[in-house]
Amino acid sequence: MQWFFNSMKTKISAIFRSSLLGVLFLMGLHVQNGQAQLVIVVPQSSPYDSLTVTQLRHIFKGEPIDGAQQQPIQIIEFKPESEAFYQRLYGLSRYSIAKYWLRLIFSGERVTPPKSFSDPDKACRYLCKNGHAISFLPVELYQKLQKSHPIKAVAIDGLTYRDDGYYFNHQSGKRGDEIQGKAASQ
């Protein structure tokens, strides 16, 4: 009987490992090859119509972008695209960014950590309720959700998500690994 249980345990363990490896493999394909074009999104009432990549890097690390900023900008992560977003913006994984935020929180810094949502409708509702917020979404979702939520796309370095060369277009310019050195120094 013991042999049977050990045999079953070995088979279940092998199935679990192969399933887990398959999921991790597919996730890697999504991050590297299947990236959707992303768009930076704010509430319609937001004063931000255009930002630079440098300003985005500051915002998504909880840093002020102007000296007079009183209220921190609430970051709203769309969890299914956060890995691709942070790879593109900083050349870092979502896990590395989460560790960065934990260090800030536990060091006693007064920060507003990101809120993370898997449901795009909930993310947009939260974004709209918090007038001083910013998020990122795949373009297709943004185009669908802007019909039912008062949100707008932010231009990056003077380019909209419809323009060639837009920073979060997966076919444009530098990749996260090419900017990692710059992101770490900013």
Task: For 63-122, write each residue's pLDDT tens digit.
Answer: 888 765 567 889 999 999 999 999 999 999 999 999 999 998 898 888 889 999 999 999
| Whether residues 89 and 76 fall in one domain | yes
What pLDDT was estimated at residue 67? 61
Domain of residue 26: give its range.
Answer: 1-34
**N residues, the chain:** 186
Poorest-confidence range of 33-42, 46-55, 122-131?
33-42
27 plus 93 within the same structural domain: no
pLDDT for 137-174, tens place per residue? 999 999 999 999 999 999 999 999 999 899 988 654 44
Q: What mean pLDDT, rounded, does the chain reach? A: 78
Position 168: which residue type?
F
For residues 143 and 166, state if they share a domain: yes
At 56 the pLDDT is 94
pTM score > 0.85 for this model? no
User: Is the CB of residue 135 less than 8 Å from the CB of residue 77?
Assistant: yes
Do 92 and 137 belong to one domain? yes
How confident is the model over 38-60, as a mean pLDDT?
A: 93
**Same structural domain, 44 and 102:** yes
Per-residue model confidence (pLDDT) at position 11:
55
**Pair (52, 5) in one structural domain:** no
Measure the CA–CA gap between 136 and 1, rounded to whole angstroms: 55
Q: What is the CATH number of the domain that holds 44?
A: 3.40.190.10
Helix, coil or strand: residue 110: coil
DSSP strand E in the chain: where? Answer: 38-43, 50-51, 74-78, 115-117, 133-138, 151-153, 155-156
Which residues contact residue 25 at a Cβ distance below 8 angstroms, ignoring those fewer than 6 apart?
A: none
Spatial separation of the C-alpha atoms in residues 102 and 98, rounded to whole Å: 6
Rg of the chain over Cα atoms, rounded to whole angstroms, equals: 20
13 and 71 co-located in one domain: no
3-class DSSP assignment, residue 111: coil
pLDDT of residue 99: 94
Amino acid identity, position 8? M
pLDDT value of position 69 = 57
The reported pLDDT for the residue numbered 64 is: 82
Q: What is the pLDDT of residue 28?
A: 38
- Together in a domain, 153 and 73: yes
Lowest mean pLDDT among 21-30, 73-82, 159-168, 176-185: 21-30
pLDDT of residue 81: 94
Q: 149: which DSSP letter?
A: S
Residues 9 and 85 in one domain: no
Whether 145 and 54 share a structural domain? yes
Overall domain count for the chain: 2
Verify that 44 and 15 share a domain, yes or no: no
Q: Are residues 161 and 103 in the same domain?
A: yes
Q: What is the DSSP string of 156-182?
A: ETTB-TTSTT-TTSTTSS--HHHHHHH
